[in-house]
């Protein structure tokens, strides 16, 4: 019954599986950040915040 879980205990099976999972997560993060035009414009507007002078 639990033989399918033994498949995960072998490194030759888990290394490619973890690589695929991390690659999909990385692509998901990139799509989240740059997929929306408004989000992209918001990120572009925030890039110069450290360079702005404080107005007192």
pLDDT the model gives residue 2: 80
- Report the candidate in 47, 21, 16 with the shortest Cα–Cα distance to residue 33: 47
Instruction: Outline where 1-56 has alpha helix (H).
Output: 3-6, 11-34, 37-46
Look up the pTM and report it.
0.58
Return d(Cα 17, Cα 34) in angstroms, integer: 26
For residue range 6-48, list pLDDT tens digits in order: 877 888 888 888 999 999 999 999 888 888 878 778 878 888 8
Which pLDDT belongs to residue 55? 66
| pLDDT value for 1 | 62
Q: In angstroms, rounded to a whole number, what is the distance separating the alpha carbons of residues 24 and 14? A: 15
- pLDDT surpasses 90 at 3: no
Sequence ranges of the domains in the chain: 2-46
Instruction: Give pLDDT, residue 22.
Output: 97
């Amino acid at each position: 019954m639990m033989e399918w879980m033994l498949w995960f205990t072998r490194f030759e099976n888990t290394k490619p599986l973890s690589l695929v999972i991390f690659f999909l997560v990385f692509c998901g993060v990139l799509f989240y950040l740059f997929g929306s035009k408004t989000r992209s414009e918001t990120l572009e507007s925030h890039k110069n915040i450290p360079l702005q002078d404080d107005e007192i």
